[in-house]
Structure 1
Amino acid sequence: MPTSTTDDAADEGTPPVGDQYQVEHFKPTGTLFVLALFVATLVLLWASVFVILLSRGSL
């Protein structure tokens, strides 16, 4: 039985380790920044509504 390592059936599913086949680990820093900005805006808006309710004595 030949012991060739170039064309084994077990290696068919694994891509070669070239520059064009390496997996990039993308980190969505811009998306996380926009999400944090959106959440901060919502918190500030609800805080202003809460302060208005407190000043009117409605709460």
Structure 2
Amino acid sequence: MYRVRRWSVRNARYLKKRYSAIERILVGCSPVLRRIDEPFTTIASPAVSNARTVQAVEAIS
């Protein structure tokens, strides 16, 4: 475990650059990902409510 700690301290600058780049990519893709998710969210909402209704009826029976 100590070796991993020493490696991470030695490479902290590289790791920070890598994480910052990944963060910038994800922030840049956020609007696109939201647009992709939007149709699925609108489809999923009625399906989820129907599934809950069916489960409630099955629980009563």
TM over 0.5: no
Structure having the larger proportion of residues in helix: 2
TM-score (norm 2): 0.38
**Based on CA coordinates, which of the two structures has the bigger radius of gyration?**
1
TM-score (norm 1): 0.39
